[in-house]
Structure 1
Amino acid sequence: MQYPVYGPYQAPGPRRPLWGGLSFRSYWEKRGIRQAALGVGVSFLLFYILQFGISLLLSVVLLLLGPAGEEAYALLTDPAGVYVQSVVLSALLFTLPFVIGARVSRRRVGEIIQLGRVQPSRFVPLVCIGLGMCMLGNFATNLLGSTFSVFGMPPVQPQMEDPAGFFGYALTVLASAFLPALVEEFAFRGVVMGLLRPFGDGFAIVVSAVLFGLMHGNLVQAPFAVVVGLGLGYITVAARSMWPAIAAHFLNNLLATLFNSLAADLTPTAYNLASLLFLLLCLVLGLIGAAVYVRKQPAAFRLHPSPCELSASGRYKAFASQPAMIVTLCLLVLSILATQFML
Structure 2
Amino acid sequence: MRKAGCILKSLLPMFFWLGLQSTVTSLFLLMGMTILGKDSSWILTGELPYVISILANAVTFAAGYIWLQKREKQEKGKITPFSMAALLFLGLTLQLFFSLLLSGADMLFPKAMEEYGKVLENLGMLAPSFFSVLYTALLAPLAEEAVFRGLTLGILEKEFSFALANVFQAVLFAFMHGNAVQSSYAFVIGLLLGYLVKKYRTLWAGIWCHMAVNASGLLVGNLDICGMCILLAVSLCILYGFVTVDGKKTKNRERY
Confirm or deny that 1:62 pairs with 2:29: no
Aligned counterpart in structure 2 of residue 197 of structure 1, from 134, 149, 157: 157
Confirm or deny that 1:276 pairs with 2:213: no
Other-structure match for 1:244: 205
Query: TM-score with structure 1 length normalisation?
Result: 0.59
Total equivalences in the alignment:
246
Q: Does the C-alpha gap of structure 1 residues 161 and 140 become closer, same or farther in structure 2, counting only changes over 3 Å?
A: closer
Aligned counterpart in structure 2 of residue 178 of structure 1, from 130, 138, 144: 138
Contact 2:173/2:187 (8 A) holds in 1? yes
Listed one character per residue, the Cα deviations across residues 150-202 of structure 1 (whole Å, up to 9, x for unaligned) are: xx554623332759x9xx84323211101122221111111111112342222
Confirm or deny that 1:222 pairs with 2:183: yes
SS in 1 for 2:72: helix
Cα offset, 1:123, TM superposition = 4.5
Contact 1:123/1:239 (8 A) holds in 2? no
Other-structure match for 1:41: 11
Find the aligned partners of 2:85 and 2:65 in 1 and give their Cα distance. Answer: 30
Contact 1:140/1:227 (8 A) holds in 2? no
SS in 1 for 2:11: helix
Unaligned runs of 5+ in 1: 1-29, 264-269, 299-343
Residue type of the partner of 2:122?
Answer: M
Larger Rg: 1
Aligned counterpart in structure 2 of residue 132 of structure 1, from 93, 106, 115: 93
Percent of residue pairs bearing the same amino acid type: 24
Aligned counterpart in structure 1 of residue 194 of structure 2, from 233, 252, 260: 233
Listed one character per residue, the Cα deviations across residues 2-49 of structure 1 (whole Å, up to 9, x for unaligned) are: xxxxxxxxxxxxxxxxxxxxxxxxxxxx61x33321222223333344
Q: Does the C-alpha gap of structure 1 residues 239 and 224 become closer, same or farther in structure 2, counting only changes over 3 Å?
A: same
Q: Does the C-alpha gap of structure 1 residues 179 and 253 become closer, same or farther in structure 2, counting only changes over 3 Å?
A: same
Other-structure match for 1:17: none
Unaligned runs of 5+ in 2: 252-256
Other-structure match for 2:171: 210
Cα offset, 1:132, TM superposition = 3.5
Q: Which runs of 4+ in 1 moved over 6 A?
A: none
Query: TM-score with structure 2 length normalisation?
Result: 0.75
Other-structure match for 2:254: none
